[in-house]
Amino acid sequence: MPYLTYSQLKQSAKMRIAPVMGRLMGAYAIYVGLSFVISEAAAVPALFTESIALQAFFYFLFSVLGAILTGIAEAGTQYLYLKLYCGRPVAVGDIFYGFTNQTKTCIGLSFMKSLFYTVPLMPSYIFSLQFTQEMEKMNLAILSSGMDLSTAAMPPEMIRSLTLMLFSFTPALVLITILSLVYSQAYYLMWDFPSCTAPELLRKSRLLMRGHKGRLFYIQICFIPLIMLGVITCGIGMLWIAPLIYAIETEFYLDLVTKRSVRR
């Protein structure tokens, strides 16, 4: 039996979410608000020091802590959509389900996934801090000397930092994309296999995604026009678009595990 195409997943998702769209929109709005507060709070400690080492440390520490909290909310969101597909009533508060159920496993998964996404970006973040500091020094020097900013040459240190930042960011982005595909099903699997530990769930996700990373990547590429539509509406359109995206991803997971079990 062939796996569902993107168009089939999308059509099925539209029909599934239509009766409860209001609750799904409310859940997404709360999730976005929570993520925004966490991300803003994580950026505050770095404002109190000029040391690149300390700023990098705070960035790593609070990025991980923030990712754990948002990861638990993400797990709750996926639980909400699994409930919907199981024919059970859903509520806006379901996104907080991970804070009271499977909390230890949620934290473990979120911590491990945060390392996958944070560690590769550390070199480019450090080089970006160096570039920012060099730019501030150049601006101060120009202001004190009365030179024209448009004619000032970029110092070699700035060129070096900018080059290293760009060259380290590209492979990090590729690695993060691959890891996000490989471990994309971990939270879904957690709700279906509550007795599994975080490492076991990551392994299950890795095995489940064998041969399907390209398929999921194509589906995510298909999301880009929808996301752009949400952006040009100042984010308001995402209240309708995000539930559709979550529903399609849930359809993908259920299609994957169902077909895999049949083929075995």
- How confident is the model at residue 152, as a pLDDT? 55
Backbone torsions φ then ψ of 234, nearest 5 degrees? 60, 30
**Strand, helix or coil for residue 254:** helix
Contact between 39 and 66 under an 8 Å Cβ cutoff? The reply is yes
Residues near 30 by beta carbon (within 8 Å), at least 6 away in sequence: 92, 95
pLDDT at 153: 62
Q: Report d(CA 95, CA 111) in Å as an integer.
A: 18
Q: What is the DSSP letter of 155?
A: P
User: pLDDT value at position 157?
Assistant: 77
Nearest residue to 77 (alpha-carbon basis) of 18, 112, 35:
35
Under-50 pLDDT residues of the chain: 262-264
Here the tokens at position 260 are 């895999």
> Residue written as tokens 């409310």?
26
Position 39 scores a pLDDT of 78
**What pLDDT score does 142 carry?**
60
pLDDT in tens, 115-139: 998 999 999 988 888 888 777 776 6
Report whether 218 contacts 203 (CB < 8 A): no
